[in-house]
Amino acid sequence: MSKYLEELDLEASAPLEEPMRQRYFMAKCGEIIRKKEMALGRKLTFYDQTFGCQMNFKDSEKLNGILEEIGYVKAESENADFVYYNTCTVRENANVRVYGRLGTLKNYKKHNPEMVIAMCGCMMQEAEEEEKVRKDFRFVDIVFGTHNIFKLAELLYQYLTSKERVFDVWEKTDQIIEDLPSDRKIRFKAGVNIMFGCNNFCTYCIVPYVRGRERSRKPEDIVAEVEKLAAEGVVEIMLLGQNVNSYGKNLEKPVSFARLLRQVEQVEGIERIRFMTSHPKDLSDELIEVMAASKKICRHIHLPVQSGSSTLLKKMNRRYTKESYLELVDKIRKAMPDISITTDIIVGFPGETEEDLLDTIDVVRKARYDSAFTFLYSKRSGTPAAKMPDQVPDQVAHERFDRLLKVVNEVARSQNSRLAGRTEPVLAEEVNERDPSLITGRLANNNVVHFKADPSVIGTIVPVVLEEAKGFYYLGRIADA
Ligand code: SAM
Ligand code: SF4
Give tens-digit pLDDT for 23-36: 999 999 999 999 99
The confidence score (pLDDT) of residue 7 equals 57
Ligand 1 atom closest to 276 (CA): 2
**pLDDT exceeds 90 at position 96:** no
Ligand 1 atom closest to 207 (CA): 9
CA distance 353 to 364: 17
pLDDT higher for 275 or 7? 275
- Ligand 1 pocket test target in 90, 278, 279 with most atoms within 8 Å of CB: 90
The confidence score (pLDDT) of residue 320 equals 98
The confidence score (pLDDT) of residue 1 equals 44
Write out the H or E segment, with its range, that includes residue 159: helix 152-162
CA distance 379 to 86: 21
**pLDDT exceeds 90 at position 97:** no
Instruction: Kindly state if the Cβ of 346 falls inside 6 Å of ligand 1.
Output: yes
H-state helical runs in 309-430: 310-315, 322-335, 354-367, 394-415
Q: How many residues does the chain have?
A: 481
CB distance 56 to 122 below 8 Å? yes
Instruction: Kindly state if the Cβ of 91 falls inside 6 Å of ligand 1.
Output: yes
State pLDDT tens for residues 269-319. Answer: 999 999 999 999 999 999 999 999 999 999 999 999 999 999 999 999 999
CA-atom Rg of the chain in angstroms:
24
- Ligand 1 pocket test target in 198, 202, 283, 344 with most atoms within 8 Å of CB: 344
State pLDDT tens for residues 329-341. Answer: 999 999 999 999 9
Ligand 1 atom closest to 243 (CA): 1
**C-alpha 201 to ligand 2 mean position (Å):** 6
pLDDT, mean of residues 362-366: 98
CA distance 163 to 287: 52
Report CA torsion sign: 420, 423, 427, 430.
Answer: positive
**C-alpha 261 to ligand 2 mean position (Å):** 22
Mean pLDDT of the chain: 95
State pLDDT tens for residues 168-208. Answer: 999 999 889 998 899 998 999 999 999 999 999 999 999 99
Counting ligands in written order, which one lies closest to the CA of residue 89?
A: 1
CA distance 384 to 379: 10
Ligand 2 atom closest to 90 (CA): 1
Percent share of the chain, pLDDT over 90:
93
Q: Model's pTM, two decimal places?
A: 0.94
The confidence score (pLDDT) of residue 217 equals 97
- Ligand 2 pocket test target in 243, 303, 307 with most atoms within 8 Å of CB: 243
